[in-house]
Chain A
Amino acid sequence: MGGVPLAVEGGFEAPGPRDFEFPPIFGEGTLLTKPMLIVIVATVLVGAFFYLAARRMAMVPGKYQYAVEGVYGFVRNGIVGDAVGREGLKFVPYLVTLFSFIFALNISGIIPFVQFPATSRIAIPLFLAVISCVIFNLVGIRRQGFVGYFRNMMFPSGVPWPVYILLAPIEFVSTVVIRPLTLTLRLALNMFAGHLVLLLTVLGGEYLLLEAGGLSAVLSVVPFLFAFILTVFEGFVQFLQAYVFTLLSALYIAGALVEEH
């Protein structure tokens, strides 16, 4: 374990990026690591959550069905309804899946004994962002035609033609590179930073309580209190980031559906 000792030699070691790297669970040479296990379990749980509700759909919903419909309704009315409108109904299944999956992976950061947000490993948000990017570009191409889509994207009307040399590459890179990139970074870094702050408060509290000695043990109340407050806050951020990722995916799809002259 590297890391910079903060106060004295052998003193408190601040958590860092190395805390996001896990060894294979079943020893050297095997593949499965903790983030991968979280992804697998979350996939199964989210799938089961919706599958079981769909199988036993009743006219008078029980508590469970009400919860499932709540998630579905939240995405359908709260995200798609506002951002895309009626045409967006086709994309509700994808967006519900996206939202639930990201939320499950985010919230794993504050579930006791799991306590690692799998989305802080950048490959996962990156892959999801690429899927969203492919979808909204395909939607645009199907709606406006291949040439039409890129013409509308890269050549806004009302500009003298030499200016297009300046503008067209910007529009292209903005849609095809920056959009998925910002989706990825926003989610991954929020989860990364949140997890790091939680680690810092908890490990700092533990250090004060068990190792610093003397009166410091009393002071450990402060970091533990912060750990509690920040855990609640982190839960909110984890929900919010799942919401923002889904909302932006919906907005990009909405943008591809719009035909500009």
Chain B
Amino acid sequence: MPTDVPPQSGGQSGGQSGGKSPADAWSAFSLIPAGVLVWGVVGWLLDMWLETRGFVVLGLLVGAVGGLYLVWLRYGRS
């Protein structure tokens, strides 16, 4: 591969295109596990504190929905 070819500015996903490329699929992925993790832990802590059960499930679901919503916010809007 010759090295004297300058990379195209912008490229597939580069700066300005506003996020609609296969590259963004990679970055979008981490939002869903993050949502599940954060709100799952919050729910679990609530369960520990209040000595209840069920907040952990609620937390996991809320986190998953929140993560999906964020993916849509960042990458789904046209």
Which of chain B's residues has its CB closest to A174's CB?
B34
Query: Once the chains bind, are B3 and A178 in contact (CB under 8 Å)?
Result: no
- Encode B55-71 as 1/0 by CB contact (under 8 A) with A: 00000001100110110
Question: How far, in angstroms, from A177 to B73 measured CA to CA in the complex?
Answer: 20
Determine chain A's interface SS by DSSP, over half rule.
Answer: helix
Question: How far, in angstroms, from A168 to B70 measured CA to CA in the complex?
Answer: 10
Please count the residue pairs between chain A and chain B whose beta carbons lie under 8 angstroms apart in the complex. 110
- How far is the CB of A90 from the nearest CB of chain B, in Å? 12
Query: Once the chains bind, are A82 and B27 in contact (CB under 8 Å)?
Result: no
Which of chain A's residues has its CB closest to B74's CB?
A156
Given contacts A73-B1, A82-B7, A88-B7, contact A257 B15 (CB under 8 A): yes
Query: Once the chains bind, are B33 and A178 in contact (CB under 8 Å)?
Result: yes
Q: Pull 7 A–B residue pairs with CB atoms less than 8 Å apart, ordered by A.
A: A73-B2, A81-B7, A85-B15, A89-B7, A158-B73, A158-B77, A171-B31
Does any Cβ of A come within 8 Å of B23's Cβ? yes
- How far is the CB of A189 from the nearest CB of chain B, in Å? 15
Does any Cβ of B come within 8 Å of A179's Cβ? yes
Question: How far, in angstroms, from A248 to B34 measured CA to CA in the complex?
Answer: 17
Query: Once the chains bind, are B62 and A174 in contact (CB under 8 Å)?
Result: no
Partner pick for B3 among A76, A170, A252, A255, CB 8 A cutoff: A76
Question: How far, in angstroms, from A258 to B14 measured CA to CA in the complex?
Answer: 8
Does any Cβ of B come within 8 Å of A236's Cβ? no
Question: How far, in angstroms, from A179 to B32 measured CA to CA in the complex?
Answer: 11
Partner pick for A170 among B5, B34, B77, CB 8 A cutoff: B34
Question: How far, in angstroms, from A74 to B73 measured CA to CA in the complex?
Answer: 33
Given A77-B1, A174-B34, list of 4 further CB < 8 A pairs?
Answer: A81-B7, A166-B62, A173-B37, A254-B15
On B, residues with C-beta under 8 Å from A are: 1-3, 5-15, 23, 26-27, 29-31, 33-35, 37-39, 62-63, 66-67, 69-70, 73-74, 77
Partner pick for B6 among A69, A86, A170, CB 8 A cutoff: A86
Given the complex, which residues of B lie within 8 Å of A83, measured CB to CB? 11-14, 23
Which of chain B's residues has its CB closest to A257's CB?
B15
- How far is the CB of B21 from the nearest CB of chain A, in Å? 9
Partner pick for A167 among B1, B13, B70, CB 8 A cutoff: B70
Partner pick for B11 among A82, A178, A247, CB 8 A cutoff: A82
- Encode A212-253 as 1/0 by CB contact (under 8 A) with B: 000000000000000000000000000000000001100110
Given the complex, which residues of B lie within 8 Å of A77, measured CB to CB? 1, 3, 5, 7
Report A66-93 residues with CB < 8 Å from chain B CB.
Answer: 69-70, 72-74, 76-78, 80-89
Report A171-202 residues with CB < 8 Å from chain B CB.
Answer: 171, 173-175, 177-179, 182
Partner pick for A179 among B23, B30, B39, CB 8 A cutoff: B30
- Encode A119-158 as 1/0 by CB contact (under 8 A) with B: 0000000000000000000000000000000000000101
Partner pick for B7 among A70, A86, A156, CB 8 A cutoff: A86
**Which are the 4 A-B pairs with shortest beta-carbon distances?**
A81-B7, A174-B34, A85-B14, A73-B1
